[in-house]
Amino acid sequence: MDTARIRNIAESISRETVELRRRLHAHPETAWQEVETSRLIEAELNKLGLSNVKRGYGGTESGVTAELTGDPSGPCVALRADIDALPVFEENSVDYRSTVDGVMHACGHDGHAAILLGTAKLLSSIENEIPGRIRFLFQPAEEHGIRSGAQELIDAGALNGVSVIGGLHLWSFFDAGLVKWKCGPVMASSDTWIVKFTGRGGHGAMPHKAIDPTIAAANFITALQTITSREIDPIDTAVVSLGQMRAGDAFNIIPNTVELKGTLRSFNPEVRDNMEGRIRRIADGIAAAYRCAAETEVAYMYPSVVNHEGATELLKKTAELVVGPGKVEETPAMMVSEDFSYYQHKVPGVFFFLGAGNAKLETDFSHHSPRFNIDEAVLPTGVALMASFALAAIEKLRSGEPI
């Protein structure tokens, strides 16, 4: 693999990559609504002459997969980008600002899609030299939560025949151009909990005639935190956070019900599996103490992202060649989540981060912020990283070495 050549090709198509990113940014679509986004991606892939171009997953018109076949008898490596936007009003004053009120690419998925399209363009220019196959997954609905786009692609056979998969995430908290990696658990599992307390509504001036579920809810909120402080080994980590609380319609009425909703995050599967029982036990006990009834529900979403050792080491070595050892660092584990984890339950995979933060360009705002943006100068770096990883993986697999 000639890394310098890969970098040069990536730089030579950087203007096209940036333009694609801006087109996607200006026309964002939320989870499972990425129809025009998918049509644009499909058209670009057809221009490149890729094979097995398929659009539409999960019973929708969203999502695109395609394959580049250098040597059909060689190993197959998959590369993935998510393509959905968020229900956020954009506040950036840029020429490519979102044209859809209340929807914007506030997490970098427009950049991910543009990088993977650039990667497809780069690799298609040297297709005859590639001793294997590369499958491109443009995945919808990463942000959906309950209905994962990754799982839908897997169910449709997107990983059939794939030996290893790679993915990246642009990250505004890291300096532009910095590559961050981690072996093992790197992003947490993500689940949603809901607890509903039911009492008996009544007049706020006569609480003795009612059964007040707000008292049960208030005590539950504080007791909930004892799960992490007193029930989980301090060596492990977990988060139990409350995000929503709904109760009542008037200041002088004791409500009939209180509904609480929050998120669960952890790395240890055993910790994750035991969370529902712990929440239910506390909710039921407090409800009984305050004469209420409690209903508990946990919606399981994404397992934790766990990077495969061999794939991570290959990515690390590849990144050091592409950007230099001084710009490749290990990242601490994060409590945010990603449905890339579903792919890693099927095949070895690595998910890494490419810094896109630049204070001078004001691209260091948080993900999901209405001011989120990226330093577009890193897009060709992303292209070179993804292409180089795919080629290195194929070379290693072709030689008979396991990833």
Reported in sequence order, the residue ranges of 326-398 that DSSP labels E, i.e. its strands, are 328-330, 349-357
DSSP structure class, residue 334 = B
Which position has the token pair 């990754």? Answer: 150
Catalytic residue among 302, 338, 342, 343: 302
Write a three-state SS string for 210-265. Answer: CECHHHHHHHHHHHHCHHHHHHCCCCCCEEEEEEEEEECCCCCEECCEEEEEEEEE
Secondary structure (3-state) at 88: coil
Which position has the token pair 């093992």? Answer: 184
Known catalytic residue at 376: yes
Secondary structure (3-state) at 158: coil
Which position has the token pair 């007791």? Answer: 223
Secondary structure (3-state) at 291: coil
As a whole number of Å, the end-to-end CA separation of the chain is 17
Helix (H) or strand (E) holding 152, with range, is: helix 149-155
Known catalytic residue at 290: no
Q: How far apart are CA 309 and CA 401, in angstroms?
A: 14
β-partners of residue 221 are: none
Smallest Cα–Cα separation from 175: which of 9, 46, 32, 361?
A: 361
Q: How far apart are CA 250 and CA 233, in angstroms?
A: 42
Between the alpha carbon of residue 178 and those of residues 181, 249, 388, the distances in Å are 10, 50, 16
Q: How far apart are CA 37 and CA 25, in angstroms?
A: 10
β-partners of residue 339 are: none
CB 68 within 8 A of CB 54: no
Q: Which residues are catalytic?
A: 302, 376
